[in-house]
Amino acid sequence: MKQSVSNENIVEVKNLKMYFPVTRGLLRRKVADVKAVDGISFKIRRGEIMGLVGESGCGKTTTGRCILRLYSPTEGQIYFNGEDLFAKRSKEETKKLSKEIAFIFQDPQGSLNPRHTAGRIIGEPLWFHNLVQGRNEYEEMVDRLLTLVGLESYMKNRFPHEFSGGQRQRIGVARALASKPSLIICDEPVSALDVSIQAQIINLLKRLQKEFNDLTYLFISHDLSVVRYFSDRIAVMYLGRIVEIADSLELYDNPRHPYTKALLSAIPIPDPFLERKRERIVLKGEVPSPLNPPKGCHFHPRCPIAVEECRIKAPEMRDIGGGHEVACHLV
């Protein structure tokens, strides 16, 4: 574990369920639920980078949005700094809480208001949270934030369309940092960018985390190779459930869940000799619909080692030592 990662939990998610009703007819009668998140529990320690990975539609973005309080969970609790995120609060308390959790979106183009200048986009949280006293301090802070993310202060008068994709994401990072949050939820922050730019943004996020003491990231990605060198710990999601959580190195060296093994086997190895020897685990079929997930272990229709019990009973998450948790009957 990194030295700056504390043992204190900044986020604790307990049995979180987020179902979206599917309705039909004029009366909007509920006919089913899309079980986007189906009973997950995990903790994020202060100062760590927690990776949340899985294929598209597995519920990772919904989880991030629940922590941001954009969705109100169907069931379960989320604690932030020990406080229930969904407890009743006064306006002032809600504002204080919103200062603490920021978000970086996947699409830097769509997430920035095209009619606002970069300076205004970055500066909005400063006014909103009363973090500056007057115009001079405001301008100074915007300049500082621009420099911090590798942009020049003269760029503050430009509009989003005048920037490249990578620069737009830097503006998104600066806006997220403006309120000095303690947690930033990064939802696929590099997947819309060229590979060369992806590395720059990841390095930027890493550097900023070192500069801002105790800053914590929840890094959501469909790509295990992106989170590999970036995260301290990784949680793997499949069809609304977490199937494995471990320290990053442990997960890569010693994956235990058949789904994690399959995901890892799909990552190309840069060494041509090792790449030729790489054994790819190809899963049969497609990910089932979250409208009607399989009974028992959600992964059983595709699992190469499934047994009868897997079709009947959902496996619980179990710690198999050193904080490595797996949900599989056979591990």
Where do contacts with ligand SF4 occur on this chain (CB under 6 A)? 257-258, 297, 299-300, 303, 305-306, 310, 315, 328-330
Cα gap 260→242, rounded to integer Å: 11
**Nearer Cβ to ligand SF4 (148/330):** 330
Reference 120, options 179, 171, 162, 84; nearest CA is 171
Closest approach, Cβ 297 to ligand SF4, in A, equals 3
- In single-letter form, the type of residue at position 107 comes to D
**Do residues 75 and 53 make contact, with C-beta atoms less than 8 angstroms apart?**
no
CA distances from 114 to 19, 109, 121, 160, 163 (A): 33, 8, 10, 6, 11
Closest approach, Cβ 320 to ligand SF4, in A, equals 13
**Nearer Cβ to ligand SF4 (46/256):** 256
**Nearer Cβ to ligand SF4 (180/261):** 261
Closest approach, Cβ 304 to ligand SF4, in A, equals 8
Closest approach, Cβ 99 to ligand SF4, in A, equals 41
Closest approach, Cβ 40 to ligand SF4, in A, equals 16
Cα gap 103→185, rounded to integer Å: 5
Distance between first and last Cα of the chain: 24
Closest approach, Cβ 256 to ligand SF4, in A, equals 9
DSSP 100-138: HEEEE-S-TTTTS-TTS-HHHHHHHHHHHTT--SSHHHH
CA distances from 181 to 177, 184, 242 (A): 6, 7, 26
**Nearer Cβ to ligand SF4 (226/303):** 303
Cα gap 241→18, rounded to integer Å: 11
Cα gap 281→25, rounded to integer Å: 43
User: Residue by residue, what is the 3-state secondary structure of 190-242?
Assistant: CCCCCHHHHHHHHHHHHHHHHHCCCCEEEEEECCHHHHHCCCCEEEEEECCEE
Query: Strand, helix or coil at 290?
Result: coil
Other beta carbons within 10 Å of 167: 19
**Nearer Cβ to ligand SF4 (232/325):** 325
**Nearer Cβ to ligand SF4 (94/254):** 254
Closest approach, Cβ 267 to ligand SF4, in A, equals 20
Cα gap 13→65, rounded to integer Å: 13
**Nearer Cβ to ligand SF4 (103/259):** 259
Closest approach, Cβ 307 to ligand SF4, in A, equals 6
